[in-house]
Structure 1
Amino acid sequence: MIDGKILLVDDNKSILSALEILLQFEYKSVHTISNPNQITSYPNLESFDIVLLDMNFSAGVNTGNEGLFWLKEIKKKTPHTSIIMMTAYGAVDLAVKALKEGAADFILKPWNNEKLLATVKSAYQLRKSKKEVFQLKQKENNLKQVINQNKNLIIGNSKPLNSVLSLVHKVAKTDVNVLITGENGTGKELIARELHQKSPRQQEVFINVDMGSISENLFESELFGHTKGSFTDAKEDRAGKFEAANGGTLFLDEIGNLSLQTQAKLLSAIQNKTIVRVGSNKPIPVDIRLVCATNCNLEQMVLEGIFREDLLYRINTIHIEVPALRERENDILLLADFYLKKFASKYGKQGLRINNAAEEKLMAYQWPGNVRELQHTMERTVILSEGNILKASDFLLNPKTAIAIDSGPNTLDEMEQLMITKALEKHNGNYSAAANQLGVSRQTLYNKIKKSGN
């Protein structure tokens, strides 16, 4: 027996009885109504999977208008319920009209039992499909809301930050490609999320891709997807990041770390607004808002022949430079207070405050790691604090520039970080060139930098 719920509506009680007898052995719940005026007030109408509705209720009237009227009324209250129309008059125009108004199917009286059961079963499957699609859409919308939650607010009111935000809010209304540049830790991803949140795509997904963490041999699979069996570990079809971001915003962080070969593949996808999954020849159109970010000097990389000029023009319709924290002096204490409250709450140390000497120390520091370094500093200080007043001595500020070459690094880790820093400075932040100089892969270099927190 099918776990379905059916409502029968006909003013002929003998027909209702015949249908009820036929269907009660096939479906778990069968209800009947002989007066159509009871339909819209019927308890839990939306819980019915199928309604079998007569077309004519007035003696001698065969227009079908009454049935069409009640069809529309039911659709208003429960749009996903499958409705099958019944009539003794099989005019084609009536059938077409009922289907146009949203009926799932049409049954003629007298009916063939097997055909009627098959029609009802098909309508039940349609109802199940509609219900599943509706639930999936609800889950998708809920997931989008979770993904798009901006957990990290943009804190500050300094002039450099306000200038950036003013540009962001102007550009957000359009679909132009945006390149965000700035030092590590300045909050480039937050600016990208702000662009998304202020755009017409704000109800769609924001997909963040760290290009520095994707190995070259997995680049196409990660961004464009793959088909089952296209390579050894391809156990099933999989959509890439471009497809996942369809309708929303795709944020490509660390865009300067791509090799020339992967740059060409990315350029093709951006130009054609289509992607092709690995192992397939079928082009898939994608509708995305592209935002890229880097701490590299892409213009210099173009001159050196390690970044494609045509790709730079494609991603750089609008350029947004995020200021370093040392350029946002008015924001340092605002950010410090924000992170102080956040971590005091997290670690159960309410009532903490920073004294004047500590504030002066924070203001005087250059913050080479920018907002990210300030965040880590505040978390460490809160964890190690012993009193409610945070003094200057409680803040352990160790800029990487403090490691002097002539005095030499004190540990192997410091030596490694010094070499990485010098290599990146020499090559204007280009990871590939720095990795070649150091004799390691780009992925290894990237992992070491991530591990150090710089």
Structure 2
Amino acid sequence: MSQSVKSSKIPGKILVVDDNQDVLSAARLFLKRHFTSIDIEKNPEAIPTLMNNEQYDVILLDMNFTKDVSSGHEGFYWLDKILAIDPSAVVVLITAYGDVQTAVRAIKEGASDFVLKPWENEKLLATMMSAMRLRQSRTEVADLKDKQKQINEDNDFKYVDILGKSGPMQKVFETIDRVAGTDANVLILGENGTGKELVARAIHRKSKRHDGVFISVDLGAITESLFESELFGHTKGAFTDAKEERAGRFEVASGGTLFLDEIGNLSLPLQAKLLSAIQSRQVTRVGSNKTRDVDIRLICATNMNLYDMVGQNSFRQDLLYRVNTIEIILPPLRERGEDLELLADHYLKHYAHKYSKEVHSVSAAALKRMQKYNWPGNVRELQHAVERAVIMSQSNVLQPEDFFFNARPGEQSGGQGEENIQLEQYHLEEVEKILIRKVMKKYNGNITQAATELGLTRSSLYRRLEKYGL
């Protein structure tokens, strides 16, 4: 019987502060029937010590102590002290001299509710239940913020290094430093694998919004039918699969940065919808007529020539003007000869540690051949090539053969043939297939996580899975 009664109590710790011992006893006697832990205290001066030693879900605080019989000043003083110690504290004020004005002021100054004494038990219980739910909600929100912050930090860790000492990359770094502190829209242009998302994240980290979220959207992976739902959100029942109301990426990114990758892949109708949201800084969820304000820093990226597309009437000129207040052009790896050794060494150290391999350097011969390769996949291809070399190497120095550098049929191994050394496509595809299979297994088939690890877009990964029959 006692076990049943105990199990029916609501988990929670309540502190009651009142200078009247009878009130304290009555409150404790009643509340302990419904909640697992009740502390009582006559002296409000003990509040800071109690709060430093315990985590209270609700504090039931008298407004008038012996120094001040009826004004409520002491109650407001201790309310401020409590909220200074714990801004998320839930405080319910009690007084025998309450009125509407006092109640309104109490709520405005941070109290969650207000009760009069002598109280009705049902009223007190309902108030405490509501206060307990409020505390739970605040705790959940705080936990979500902490988790989101950790997710952002974990994601940013993957993109923390933009390496380069070459002239073209120094210009990129200078532009990042100049634009980061503003809220100007940025358009990042560059071939696949040049590091467009790295630059977007670097801008976010250096911006005034660095404490906000960074939301990345691969526009190339969103179908026409789901575009509005994904970006602007939807209401419950707005379409067949809308099981619940959902905020879109614009709303989720509010207060932070929204990164729209592959913007050149949008059709003209979708470009018009995107332009409207960017211009108004408002979105309307699918199935709703209510507009919602959003506060975002917009960064876009593409590997396509938007200026040619404007001339061909396949990209809106007004949208281009909206997204490219500042333009950053990333150089391909073939134009960054000075950076190749730096990048190769960076990835070698990373993958040697990841795979517990005693590999510490790249041989001069391997570097020479790497310098002569065109790297059509840019830094991303170099990263995968070094990872594969570290995995397959049987020595502590990477050699040319670890990268499968071979002369084309008919070429000599030395002399002029050395100038045309290429990385054979067959070997690249085999390595890529192995890596994709490994990463997909690591994330139990989760496309988003696998694509992030591989440095691919979701649509690119889908194409490769189909290509390799995985």
Indicate the TM-score class for this superposition, using the shorter chain for normalisation.
0.7 to 0.9
Q: The residue matched to 1:40 in structure 2 has which SS?
A: helix
How many residue pairs match? The answer is: 417
Mean Cα deviation higher: 216-225 or 108-117: 108-117
Contact 2:385 2:403 in 1 (8 A): yes
Mean Cα deviation higher: 145-154 or 207-216: 145-154
Is 2:237 the counterpart of 1:229? yes
Is 2:291 the counterpart of 1:287? no
**How far apart, in 2, do the equivalents of 1:190 and 1:131 lie?**
33
**How far apart, in 2, do the equivalents of 1:217 and 1:139 lie?**
31
Equivalent position amino acid for 1:235 in 2: K
Equivalent position amino acid for 1:270 in 2: I
Contact 1:160 1:323 in 2 (8 A): yes
Is 2:139 the counterpart of 1:131? yes
Query: Relative to structure 1, is the Cα distance of residues 397 and 6 closer, same or farther in structure 2, using a 3 angstrom cutoff?
Result: same
Equivalent position amino acid for 1:4 in 2: G
Mean Cα deviation higher: 118-127 or 301-310: 118-127
> Which residue number corresponds to residue 261 of structure 1?
269
**How far apart, in 1, do the equivalents of 2:17 and 2:404 lie?**
79
Q: Which has the larger radius of gyration?
A: 1
Query: Relative to structure 1, is the Cα distance of residues 57 and 382 closer, same or farther in structure 2, using a 3 angstrom cutoff?
Result: closer
How much has 1:113 moved relative to structure 2?
A: 3.8
Mean Cα deviation higher: 248-257 or 115-124: 115-124
Query: Relative to structure 1, is the Cα distance of residues 45 and 118 closer, same or farther in structure 2, using a 3 angstrom cutoff?
Result: farther
How much has 1:444 moved relative to structure 2?
A: 9.0
Listed as ranges, the matches of 1:55-204 within 5 Å are 55-58=63-66, 61-90=69-98, 94-151=102-159, 153-204=161-212
Contact 1:150 1:193 in 2 (8 A): no
Is 2:285 the counterpart of 1:277? yes
Query: Relative to structure 1, is the Cα distance of residues 450 and 300 closer, same or farther in structure 2, using a 3 angstrom cutoff?
Result: farther
**How far apart, in 2, do the equivalents of 1:135 and 1:393 lie?**
50
> Which residue number corresponds to residue 333 of structure 2?
325
**How far apart, in 1, do the equivalents of 2:310 and 2:400 lie?**
45
Structure 1 length as normaliser, TM-score? 0.80
Query: Relative to structure 1, is the Cα distance of residues 114 and 382 closer, same or farther in structure 2, using a 3 angstrom cutoff?
Result: closer
Deviations 1:311-364 (A, max 9, x none): 111112111111111211110111111122222223332134322222211122
Mean Cα deviation higher: 65-74 or 294-303: 65-74
Listed as ranges, the matches of 1:381-420 within 5 Å are 381-397=389-405
Contact 1:227 1:236 in 2 (8 A): yes
Equivalent position amino acid for 1:153 in 2: D
Equivalent position amino acid for 2:264 in 1: G
Gaps in structure 2 of 5+ consecutive residues: 1-8, 411-423, 430-457
Mean Cα deviation higher: 103-112 or 317-326: 103-112
Identity of aligned residues (%): 53
Higher normalized contact order (CA 8 Å, seq sep 6+, divided by chain length): 1
Q: The residue matched to 1:361 in structure 2 has which SS?
A: helix
Structure 2 length as normaliser, TM-score? 0.78
> Which residue number corresponds to residue 216 of structure 1?
224
Equivalent position amino acid for 1:163 in 2: K
> Which residue number corresponds to residue 351 of structure 1?
359
How much has 1:15 moved relative to structure 2?
A: 3.2
How much has 1:43 moved relative to structure 2?
A: 7.0
Query: Relative to structure 1, is the Cα distance of residues 73 and 450 closer, same or farther in structure 2, using a 3 angstrom cutoff?
Result: same
Equivalent position amino acid for 2:250 in 1: F
Q: 2:323 aligns with which of 311, 315, 325?
A: 315
> Which residue number corresponds to residue 4 of structure 2?
none
Equivalent position amino acid for 2:341 in 1: L
Contact 2:159 2:198 in 1 (8 A): no
Contact 2:348 2:359 in 1 (8 A): no
Contact 1:368 1:399 in 2 (8 A): no
> Which residue number corresponds to residue 414 of structure 2?
none
